[in-house]
Amino acid sequence: MKKMVPCIAGVFLLAGAMAFTDRQKSPPLPSDQKPPVNQRHCPDYNVVSFKIELVSTQAGNPAIEFPHDKVKLTLILENAGNIPIPDGYLPDFTLKRNDELILNGSLINGIRAPGSREELKLGTDSFLHGVKTTYYLQITTGFRECRTDNNKISLTIDENLLHRNRTMTQIR
């Protein structure tokens, strides 16, 4: 038994040293875990705001049975990433009114450098006065971005606000 005491003590010392060594090592990151967005090096289109301006209205005209409001649609887009947008890439966009596609295509813009912004005019649209109307805009790109959750925005028309202020803006 006396011969076993040094062996048992050695086993405990060895086990303690191994446990201490295991505590010093940090577990490896899973292969699918990404660093925080602000530490990644990537471009990132961001829809900053979506503005709707009242151009004209037929509301109040007794000669028109189904009056429409005509609006101008404007978008502010920026590169929220920390590297430039790659040359040759133009973002594609989809614009829907009440889940109906009304416009899609590529946005021609000068946004390249990180932090650069541009106001883009999407044109005009018309909707039936007095009917709930929601515009939804989504940007898609052909490259990997830091984030994609900031590539879309929606705005539901509040006609009282739109007619009183002549403009509505959704800011992210």
Query: Would you say the pTM of this structure is higher than 0.85?
Result: no
Q: Which tens digit of pLDDT belongs to each residue from 61-119?
A: 999 999 999 999 999 999 999 999 998 888 999 999 999 999 999 988 778 999 999 99
Supply the mean pLDDT for the chain. 84
pLDDT of residue 14: 46
pLDDT of residue 35: 53
CB 39 within 8 A of CB 75: no
Q: Which tokens sit at 69?
A: 């409001």
Domains of the chain listed by start with CATH number? 40-171 (2.60.40.10)
pLDDT of residue 36: 56
Mean pLDDT along residues 51-63: 95
Whole-number Cα distances in Å, 29 to 25, 32, 34: 12, 8, 9
